[in-house]
Structure 1
């Protein structure tokens, strides 16, 4: 089971605008005003990340792209001094929840067990909300006091609570909240598999998609050689800590030149997927440099999931 790349890839590239002149990547995808929209991460030569917005006329054709960022790091926010990264967008009722990573540099701790601390990074899952992508309300850091990223909010409450996936390296965790702002971890969902393509660490892609077989989650995994690939898991609808199915082999891995060569080589990294016309449209960053699209038939995925549920062993 593999994703099929769009022949138009890459669908989004850098421009002469300073804030997005070095890289565009890792976009959220959502529908707004009848169109597919991409909220994408961008970098200029100063290596600070911003969010840009593009509207599509078809799944792989850009119709309109704003020339200025729609979301920027707060100048006095110590957590965002290196930028805002890797947005994931979830719509609940009439509100769009933008979960993102706030990034900043700190003094490295050479012998720390945490890789980010050793490399001098402080990363925090953060939240902003909007109804029009013009005005945002910031909630700030929502997973506190620990390096965490890849936050993805479920599109509906479960048992009256908000559910959020995030990654404390190397595994995907689950957190819940009554108010959507203050989150508490409830446990690990799944982690790396020894000897596999996702043996080093794993992280959530976009927000989970509800299906009759469970919550569909596209996720990334990598080896110690830092080759990023994509896979699929299905989670229980009522208890997302339960993994019902997981692909043995990757559904997408770096093969094209724009995936194998970039600011970071050998990367395919998704922050969002949607269902459209009986397909899953998976948008992904390639080589930390450009934005691409790959698709897969919905029924093929669900047919595979039905066969796996019940016999899957964690």
Structure 2
């Protein structure tokens, strides 16, 4: 059984703005939430200083977008001084929560530095209007951690989230979205060494989709390939990574239990703007809202532009169950 997402004929749906100083080079890896009859996008952007900020855009049809002229979330201190990356937004408890990656310095503090890992922290922010955001803080410290996303409802009376302790995807729980006890964390799945497309690394995509059959979760992965090649300086080698998208089905009340994980990907780079860009051979998604039975998968193409692919929710669930 095979399945693949279908590119929207008007993709890419957003490109950099050459008149802007902060989003003139790259716009990519967006979050999209459907709320009050509108598509709301938060996207990662890079401009003249190559620092990532989060922009905002709104759309009636999910294809044509009007964006704000200024970012809605920008670096503020040492925790995210080098960039704010890869937002994922969910509606929860009458508010909106954004998980994002803070890219900062490796050491923070005065005097003797405080070690927070390599400066890649899984952060959470809160908003009531999707424009103004209040930082809550990191899920974990002391390690590089990212690809985190909140579930759209509590599970067993607690907030739940994916995060990644490379190379595995983990599940975490919290009572207040501020403290995530280590004893409430557990790995779910990791790379498949015998599989051709996700043998090296995997990570979570957008907000999990609740269905009667389980949590439908899109993910990404790649397999590292090293190629020997001769060049003008002598013998050398090149490393190829092709990011592809897959799907996994998890138990509704115990998401650490994998119901099914199809072996084949559902999407991969093919268009020129996915094969060439700031980072080539990449389709990377943080967003999969469902509107009127259609799954809208927004993704970054080669870390440069934003694309859209769609599919039927029913057909995707069938593939997740039986693929």
Q: Which residue of 1 aligns with 2:129?
A: 132
Q: Which residue of 2 aligns with 1:28?
A: 31
Q: Find 2:292's aligned residue among 266, 277, 284.
A: 277
Alpha-carbon separation, structure 2, partners of 1:147 and 1:85 = 14
The Cα of 1:81 is off from its aligned counterpart by: 1.1
The Cα of 1:201 is off from its aligned counterpart by: 0.6
Tell me the secondary structure at the aligned position of residue 322 of structure 2: helix
Tell me the secondary structure at the aligned position of residue 54 of structure 2: strand
Q: Which residue of 1 aligns with 2:56?
A: 53
Alpha-carbon separation, structure 2, partners of 1:264 and 1:256 = 14
The Cα of 1:105 is off from its aligned counterpart by: 4.2
Q: Which runs of 4+ in 1 moved over 3 A?
A: 305-308
Alpha-carbon separation, structure 2, partners of 1:135 and 1:53 = 11
Confirm or deny: 8 A CA contact 1:213 1:305 kept in the other structure: no
Stretches of structure 2 lacking an aligned partner (at least 5 in a row): 108-116, 225-239
**Residue 161 in 1 paired to residue 176 in 2?**
no
Stretches of structure 1 lacking an aligned partner (at least 5 in a row): 108-116, 309-314
Confirm or deny: 8 A CA contact 1:28 1:38 kept in the other structure: yes
Tell me the secondary structure at the aligned position of residue 285 of structure 2: strand
> What do residues 3-22 of structure 1 show as CA deviations (whole Å, max 9, x unaligned)?
00011111011002110011
Alpha-carbon separation, structure 2, partners of 1:59 and 1:221 = 26
Q: Which residue of 2 aligns with 1:3?
A: 5
> What do residues 177-208 of structure 1 show as CA deviations (whole Å, max 9, x unaligned)?
01111113421110000132011110100110
The structure that has the greater radius of gyration is 2
Tell me the secondary structure at the aligned position of residue 27 of structure 1: strand
Q: Which residue of 2 aligns with 1:226?
A: 241
Q: Which residue of 2 aligns with 1:19?
A: 22
> What do residues 146-189 of structure 1 show as CA deviations (whole Å, max 9, x unaligned)?
11001100000011111110111111111110111111342111
Give the TM-score normalised by the residue count of structure 2.
Answer: 0.88
Q: Aligned-residue CA RMSD in angstroms?
A: 1.5
Alignment of 1:228-243 (within 5 A): 228-243=243-258
Tell me the secondary structure at the aligned position of residue 97 of structure 1: strand
Q: Which residue of 2 aligns with 1:111?
A: none
**Residue 184 in 1 paired to residue 186 in 2?**
no
> What do residues 32-65 of structure 1 show as CA deviations (whole Å, max 9, x unaligned)?
3320111000011211110101111212222x11
Give the TM-score normalised by the residue count of structure 1.
Answer: 0.90
Tell me the secondary structure at the aligned position of residue 61 of structure 1: coil
Q: Find 2:144's aligned residue among 130, 143, 147.
A: 147
Alignment of 1:207-222 (within 5 A): 207-222=207-222
